[in-house]
Structure 1
Amino acid sequence: MSVNLSPLPPARRGRPGRLALLWSEMKRHKASYLFLAPFLLLFTFFTIVPILMSVGMSFTYYNILEKPKFIGLSNYRLLFVDDDIFLKAIGITLKFAFITGPIGYAMAFLLAWLISQIPVKYRFFYTLCFYTPSITSAVAMSVVWLYLFAGDRKGLLNYYAIQIGLIEEPYLFLQNVNSIVPVIIIVSLWMSMGVGFLAFLAGLQNVPKDLYEAGAIDGVRFRWQELIYITIPAVKPQLLFGAVLQVVSSLTVFDVSIQLVGLPSPLYAGHTILTHLYDYAFIKFEMGYASAIAVVLFVLMIGLNRLIFKLLGRE
């Protein structure tokens, strides 16, 4: 009786696992991974580890003075069942994000596109004018806006509105619950020309001129046709990058709200998720509950960013 000692067919041989393939790739490209190592270490210790610690602390009661005490899902149950202020903060944050996100994103791209159309020697001046508000301290900027929206006769808007007869008494822009969110939206839009705006401008200036020449040969005659058929497809990576930044900035509005309407705002009309997190983390020192708020905000960001990747990141 003979025994078949022939090797197994290729389909039945043991295939290396993913870890083995990853290890072989790392050995083959070890120089590249050595260059990446400093960033990967910093990213791990200052981003991944804090996220994991925050998730773990969200299941505990921790007030800094005592050791963390495991309480399961109690923090999340309290957030979504008993904390009316948090539910209100979610509504205000989403309202703010769905207004300032698309509008700020479109404004940044259109302004970058307009600046890219003017002569090179003037671009620096216009870029500086639009970019400066985003790098200026929110405290310094709030001084200007507080003077503009002040609720007495010395406030700039109230003064001119009374002078021309639109109103008889000063309007309390920063105390009226109906006007707090619109004011925060206006100020945030004015300060929204940040890194995404610069990314758009850089991408627009690096679109190959050959594409426009080829488009002219194929029948593209107008600027709006160039924008739709040539420019936007050529800067999709920058559009994706700007969209991600816009989502993050829209969901993490904090400084503008604090400086304009304080903490807490009148009837919590300007209370956002990040403001609620700051309140529990650094005023009430309930770190477990604050961690649960941070996890909810993190999941919300991940969900919206996944949606953006599906819309802009298919290629």
Structure 2
Amino acid sequence: MNTYWKQLKAYKHSYVLITPFFIVFTIFTLLPVVVSMAFSFTYFNMLEFPKWVGLENYTRLFLDDDVFMIALKNTFLFALITGPLSYVACFLFAWFINEMSPTVRAIMTLLFYAPSISGNAYVIWQIMFSGDTYGYINGFLMNMGIILEPIQWLQDPRYMLGIVMIVQLWLSLGVGFLAFIAGLQGLDKTLFEAGVMDGVRNRWQELWYITLPGMRPMLLFGAVIQITSSFAVAEVAMSLVGFPSTKYAAHTIVTHLLDYGTIRFEMGYASAIATVLFLLMVSTNLIVQKMLRKVGE
């Protein structure tokens, strides 16, 4: 205890500086998560006082809610496909662009980051996959003689999920990409010279033994961003294929959460959905962190 108080006194200025952030984080992030977990064991319709129901919401979620199981499957597909692909793509693009001249690097960074901050990003894809002859994809395929009539890309369950994944991948080259660029720029150049002296003979060895270990914090940050975005897909699906989508073909856990939380106002059940999503994100992040610790070994 004495050691604790000595450290607290020694770093008191640092603790004072982080106190505002800690208060905001506790009130607006940590506390809502705890309250949501508590509500997940209740029946709460926003009008009456929450009523304790135990595990009833979770039983209903996994045993009686067929739409949730569809949403769970779609979300896992999103996470398994878009998460790793976008993560690897972000790093590879950052690695290649980092080798360019400063001017070209700045321009390319802006081009890659722009889609993630563009407010009208979905309009481009809606025009491309429009279900009439004016849609770019339909027009191209009909002119080539591949199809005879327009395909309803954004209404046909066979294509909806794949299109949403493509758009999500396009939008994902944002914050993670910037983090990797920053990490590559911050690497100590003397490490590469020392690597040559220690037997590093090509760029791939340099990447594995020097670049990746030196970027572990950025790799972890990028992984958290990509995992969160892949599990929290909702806006892309709702903007492109509607809410709910045809036969729930592009329904995700977050859209299911929005359905019960903002439309039906079954807050206890919505909290159970949110808790499941939170646990999935946390467990996936822990697995990825464990894997990243092996980089460079």
- With the shorter chain as reference, the TM-score category is over 0.9
1:1-315 map, 5 Å: 22-23=4-5, 25-137=7-119, 140-313=120-293
CA deviation map 1:217-266 (0-9, x unaligned):
44444333322232122112111110111111100001100000111100
Measured after TM superposition, the shift of residue 29 of structure 1 is: 2.8
* Alignment: residue pair count: 295
* Distance in 1 separating the partners of 2:5 and 2:250: 51
| Deviation larger for 22-31 or 140-149 | 22-31
Unmatched segments (≥5 aa) in structure 2 = none
* Distance in 1 separating the partners of 2:271 and 2:17: 33
Measured after TM superposition, the shift of residue 30 of structure 1 is: 2.3
State the AA in 2 paired with 1:100: T
Measured after TM superposition, the shift of residue 28 of structure 1 is: 4.0
Measured after TM superposition, the shift of residue 314 of structure 1 is: 6.4
Unmatched segments (≥5 aa) in structure 1 = 1-15
State the AA in 2 paired with 1:170: P
CA deviation map 1:183-215 (0-9, x unaligned):
011000000012111110011011111122223
Measured after TM superposition, the shift of residue 22 of structure 1 is: 4.2
Please give the root-mean-square deviation of Cα atoms over the aligned residues, in Å: 1.6
Task: For residue 101 of structure 1, give the secondary structure of its aligned residue in structure 2.
Answer: helix
Measured after TM superposition, the shift of residue 56 of structure 1 is: 1.0
Task: For residue 158 of structure 2, give the secondary structure of its aligned residue in structure 1.
Answer: coil
State the AA in 2 paired with 1:297: L
Measured after TM superposition, the shift of residue 24 of structure 1 is: 5.0
CA deviation map 1:133-189 (0-9, x unaligned):
01112xx11111011011111110010100011111112211111211110110000
* Distance in 2 separating the partners of 1:24 and 1:244: 34
State the AA in 2 paired with 1:37: T
Task: For residue 63 of structure 1, give the secondary structure of its aligned residue in structure 2.
Answer: coil
* Distance in 1 separating the partners of 2:291 and 2:175: 21
**C-alpha distance 121-41 of structure 1, shift in aligned 2 (>3 A):** same
Between structure 1 and structure 2, the one with the greater Rg is 1
**C-alpha distance 191-45 of structure 1, shift in aligned 2 (>3 A):** same
Task: For residue 52 of structure 1, give the secondary structure of its aligned residue in structure 2.
Answer: helix
* Distance in 1 separating the partners of 2:206 and 2:138: 44
Task: For residue 178 of structure 1, give the secondary structure of its aligned residue in structure 2.
Answer: helix
* Distance in 2 separating the partners of 1:280 and 1:258: 15
Measured after TM superposition, the shift of residue 31 of structure 1 is: 2.3
CA deviation map 1:255-310 (0-9, x unaligned):
10000011110000000000000011111111111111000000111110110121
CA deviation map 1:2-45 (0-9, x unaligned):
xxxxxxxxxxxxxx6xxx76455324432221122111111111
